[in-house]
Amino acid sequence: MTQQQLDETVEYLIKKGFDKPEIGIVLGTGLGQLADAIENPVVAHYNHIPYFPLATVEFHSGKLIYGEIEDKKVVVMQGRFHLYEGYGFQDITYPIRVMKQLGIGHLLISNAAGAVNLDFSKGDLMLIEDHINLQGGSPLAFKNVAEFGDRFVDMKEPYDVDMREILLETARKEQITLHEGVYASVVGPQLETRAEYRMIKTLGADAVGMSTVPEVIVANHLRLPIVAISVLTDECDPDNLQAIDIQEIIEIAQKAEPKMIQLFKSLIKRL
């Protein structure tokens, strides 16, 4: 990745009409409905954006959408890139750097995740308060990283406290269950074994998924305040493990998404 590539990507998007977005949003698996709430949308397909990772079959519908939500200018990633598709850490986080250079001051992230904390139920939402990187690498482990920011990025409070507080307050007011917990990221795409779920729980995680952490690391590199919400799509009880059904995961995510949209919209209004 070079600054010149970033400049070219950003120039392409500005020409398309991506005019100084204030807030970036990443939508996770099964969580595309928020895109319908965007007013005056301008759409850029990932395949057409210079230097964006080349979309895989699964991702042919990936889009970057610019527009307004609650009268704020937003840029929304409908579909993200994952390590399990064969991309590298820098590829999957490139869009975060692009959104930052477009001008966003806040980033809202969502994902689908499995609940390893068995007090949580599928269909519930979890606000990520901290994470554990189990992906075996870092998006900041490259030669010229210092040209883009600090190499040794502090991760004491990777998730923005003020935005978290707003989300918790909104959830209380609107009677939406919003757990708080630790998210562990794995590469995937295979799900975890029973022994792995036990390990992940022992390590101190409440949920596990295949995304988000690299994006959060890069956002911290860019000093970009972020929040992230997991939609819990399955219960990972090693003593009673059900075979995973991807279609069911997507359905549960879609059913729970309106709650997440409500929270994100309230937050956007207050930013």
* Site size for ligand HPA (CB under 6 A): 13
Q: Do 127 and 179 meet the contact criterion of CB atoms below 8 Å apart?
A: yes
Maximum C-alpha span of the chain:
54
Residues 10-69 that bind ligand HPA (CB under 6 A): none
Q: Tell me the C-alpha distance between 219 and 213, whole Å.
A: 10
129 binds ligand HPA (CB under 6 A): no
Selected binder of ligand HPA within 23, 65, 191, 228 (CB under 6 A): 191
Q: Of 108-116, 126-134, 214-222, 262-270, which segment contacts ligand HPA by CB under 6 A?
A: 108-116
CB of 229 to ligand HPA, least distance (A): 14
CB of 127 to ligand HPA, least distance (A): 17
Q: Tell me the C-alpha distance between 104 and 99, whole Å.
A: 6
Residues 202-261 that bind ligand HPA (CB under 6 A): 208-210, 233-234, 236, 249
Give me the residues paired with residue 39 across strands. Answer: 68
Selected binder of ligand HPA within 21, 62, 95, 114 (CB under 6 A): 114
Dihedral sign from CA coordinates of 26, 31, 32, 33: negative
Residues 149-188: x/- map of binding to ligand HPA (CB under 6 A)? -------------------------------------x--
Give the nearer residue to ligand HPA in terms of CB position, either 74 or 208: 208
Give me the residues paired with residue 44 across strands. Answer: 64
Which phi and psi (to 5°) does residue 47 adopt? Answer: -60, -20
DSSP state of 237: -
Give the nearer residue to ligand HPA in terms of CB position, either 65 or 249: 249
Q: Do 188 and 135 meet the contact criterion of CB atoms below 8 Å apart?
A: no
Q: Tell me the C-alpha distance between 18 and 41, whole Å.
A: 10
Query: Which residue lies nearest ligand HPA, judged by its C-beta?
Result: 114
CB of 243 to ligand HPA, least distance (A): 12
CB of 82 to ligand HPA, least distance (A): 10
Q: Which H helix or E strand runs over 30?
A: none
192 binds ligand HPA (CB under 6 A): yes
Q: Which H helix or E strand runs over 130?
A: strand 125-133
126 binds ligand HPA (CB under 6 A): no
CB of 142 to ligand HPA, least distance (A): 26
Q: Tell me the C-alpha distance between 54 and 264, whole Å.
A: 29
Q: Tell me the C-alpha distance between 92 and 28, whole Å.
A: 13
The contact set with ligand HPA (CB under 6 A) reads 112-114, 186, 191-192, 208-210, 233-234, 236, 249
